[in-house]
Structure 1
Amino acid sequence: MGSLPRLPGADTTHAGPARDAGVTVLHQPILDVARGTAAGFHAVPEVSRGRLADPVPRWAVTVRTIDAALTASATLPTNTFISVPVPLDLVGDPAVRSRLAAHGQLGGVVLDVTDFSSELVSRAVPALDDYRAAGARIAVGGRDDAQPELGSIVRLRPAIIRLGAAWTRGIDTHPSRRTAIEVTGQLAGQLDAWILADAVETAAELRVLAQLGVPLARGRFVGVAGPAWPTIPGATRTALPPATRTPDGVLRSLLQQAYTTRHPEATRSVLAEATGFEHVVVVDEQHRPVALLHHAGGRHEPVDVMTVNVDTPVADVVSRAMARPAEHRFVPLCCTDGAGRFVGILRMERLMAHLADGASGKPT
């Protein structure tokens, strides 16, 4: 929401070595499976070891990747994000925090936590909370083919749960792996997180993932890393099954307006100009919703924000919303256009009434 605060005494002594570490950062496309387009790009560091007498320190590779990815993010295609790998043990490193603080607002940035270890979760949570408050989203995946256990996933509150090669490799011939992804998808829905299937290497794997409703995919078949912003190959788009759910246009008729503000301090105290509004939506500079405030007990309380595209079928929206934890299940949803900009809120009462009218045969 706001900018990441600079830490007193943040270590900037690593700046020179990181820039001179012989690290080239490429970008690998991340597929929006439903639309067959690029949802984002993952920063991939390549180390030119032949130029160096000594191995490049991990922190130097990480900081260089952050520098390059955040600089390149200024030219990101519309409605895409940049994913930046950060090892869990370096999430709170002073050099890493300094680089992210220098960038300020982190909207459109996904910090992909790698090299996961349950023992390090507690130490990483404060830094991740700061990055999230600055607008970043968090992705979590396990070390190599392993996955973090449930408790660690919940504590880190990721926006994306990344599934490695052990989940996706040969999924077209392994029913047990399909079942595992379905169960993980249910967990992701309760956390309002998305699944990203990594290491997709064949058309058959991608087709099964699409049939399972996995929203994001990455791997050699989806597209290899390259400079600038690589496009999704034609063979990848051709491999996707025809869309089985098409926009029904209902959400546009159910939208309601809400008071919006670009002032992050709205989450800490009631703005005088927002008095009388039941809901306040905090948006960033691109008018994308980053927080939702609900009026209760004489004040506005921040609640988790769930966003849905205005062209999403209404049944899909209700299914996602009802997968939320019970205490947030009936909180309004923030509706966005194709560029992620806020266009209105959706009250669960109106969505449920629409479904009930349709079931009873009443005109909607």
Structure 2
Amino acid sequence: MPPAGPAAPTEDPAVPSPRAVPEDAPPDWPALVAGVLEDPSRLRLVVQPIVDVARAVVAGYEVLSRFEQPAGVAQPLTPDLWFAAADRLGRGAELEALVVERALALRADLPDNCFLTVNVSPHLLGEPVLTDLLLGAGDLSPLVLELTEHTAVADLTPVVALCGRLADRGALVALDDAGSGYSGLQQLTTVRPHLVKLDRALVAGIHLDEAKLALAEMLGELAGRLDAWLLAEGVETWEEMDAFLRLGAPLAQGYLLARPSPRFEPLDAAVAARLRSAAARVSFVEDVASLVEPVRCEDPTTGEPLLLEAGEVGIRLDAEAHPAALLLPLRREGESGHRTARVSLRARPSDGVVELARRAVARPEATRFDPVVVVDDIGRAVGVVRAERVVARLVALLEGAGGR
């Protein structure tokens, strides 16, 4: 998606420019782009909630840009036109850097346990004005860089390398418009994002289209294999929302749930109540929280190894208290001791059990039945879920639904 979507219908009308221009004049893009860069007050930021559908609460916000509509220009100049024009003029990185800089400042008012996504173009991410801004900003959490692409990038290797450096500073990466084409799938497997946003064209009317449902399910499984969250963007009807609840998608965004606002607003109480009711009606959706097994964690600051009992599972933490590795019993029966294994899958307590099962079995064979590490909204370990508990719960759900 472009660095911002179309202006929300509820937004105040743009303030006309005081310059005298003929009626219905074509946009003077060089002057318009230069004007915004020289006077950033001509650019406003709004935020749209991203909802944790299982808990019916806001999990994060997306930063969207709003520009003044120039006087005398009849054609609505939507944000995507502004960013495309700036890119053509060689000033795209400057305009995106302006948005990113202001988004970084918004974190001071961000509600607890929420992330903030901001759009960046991969072909511009390596430009010094953007790179220097991000690398010089210190701790980037809980920022999510949403990679949009309307210009082909022949080699994503530098982008992936830079995203790795930014991840070391706390930033996460989202990939926009998944499912929009082969190039999008290539980016998905190359970039390996933390968040995968479904293309709006795939979301619209999904409850009426079996092909769309199948593609969304496939992308959900692929996201699970990459240990990424799936986000349904552009949800506008309850029928679409019900479809994604049945698929087990953990996150959703759209006018149905909340419109863009100048402030960080919570989810409307009536919308939250209806979302909880809709989730309760959907078969085979139950929280992972009921399966979580608390485990002991090895603290890297002490320098002392964690001594585990036979059959016990542990978690090794990194310097930020995030799960770095699993401590698992040795594979052969009768052997004492433990082995270290990488964390192959993370989940949240609010995730659905069926969605967790899909993601778990999508892992490589060597790690397919390793415990899943459960983390809170800021990545701290809550516990683990063992594969046998997931299977037992799926059987119980199937029997409860009348299946045999």
The answer, yes or no, to whether TM exceeds 0.5 is yes
Q: Is the 8 A contact 1:203 1:239 kept in 2?
A: no
- TM-score, L = length of structure 2: 0.68
Q: Shift in Å at residue 23 of structure 1?
A: 2.1
Residue 211 to residue 319, structure 1, CA distance change in 2 (3 Å): closer
Q: Is the 8 A contact 1:171 1:177 kept in 2?
A: yes
Q: Which amino acid aligns with 1:38?
A: V
Task: Say which of 77, 81, 85 aligns to 2:119.
Answer: 85
Residue 305 to residue 83, structure 1, CA distance change in 2 (3 Å): farther
Residue 219 to residue 135, structure 1, CA distance change in 2 (3 Å): same
Q: Which amino acid aligns with 1:81?
A: F
Task: Say which of 178, 186, 196 aligns to 2:221.
Answer: 186
Q: Which amino acid aligns with 2:168?
A: A
For residue 242 of structure 1, give the secondary structure of its aligned residue in structure 2.
helix
Q: Is the 8 A contact 1:259 1:274 kept in 2?
A: yes
User: Which structure 1 segments of 5+ residues have no match?
Assistant: 1-16, 264-270, 360-364
Q: Shift in Å at residue 141 of structure 1?
A: 2.1
Q: Is the 8 A contact 2:196 2:230 kept in 1?
A: yes
Q: Is the 8 A contact 1:113 1:138 kept in 2?
A: yes
- TM-score, L = length of structure 1: 0.75
Q: Is the 8 A contact 2:179 2:215 kept in 1?
A: no
Partner of 1:308: 347
Q: Which moved more, 1:329-338 or 1:25-34?
A: 329-338
Q: Shift in Å at residue 26 of structure 1?
A: 1.1
Two-structure CA RMSD over aligned residues (Å): 3.8
Q: Kindly, what percent of the aligned residue pairs are identical?
A: 26
Partner of 1:32: 52
Pairing of 1:11-50 with structure 2 (within 5 A) = 20-21=39-40, 22-48=42-68, 50=70
Question: Which structure is larger by alpha-carbon Rg, 1 or 2?
Answer: 2
Pairing of 1:145-294 with structure 2 (within 5 A) = 146=181, 148-234=183-269, 236-237=271-272, 239-240=274-275, 241-243=278-280, 244=282, 245-247=285-287, 250-252=290-292, 254-261=293-300, 272-274=303-305, 279-282=315-318, 284=320, 287=321, 289=322, 291-292=324-325
Say whether 1:107 aligns with 2:141. Answer: yes
* Distance of 2:52 and 2:213 partners within structure 1: 19
For residue 226 of structure 1, give the secondary structure of its aligned residue in structure 2.
coil
Partner of 2:365: 326
Residue 19 to residue 232, structure 1, CA distance change in 2 (3 Å): farther
Q: Is the 8 A contact 2:52 2:251 kept in 1?
A: yes
Q: How many residues align?
A: 328
User: Which structure 2 segments of 5+ residues have no match?
Assistant: 1-35, 72-81, 309-313, 330-338, 398-404
Q: Is the 8 A contact 2:198 2:231 kept in 1?
A: yes
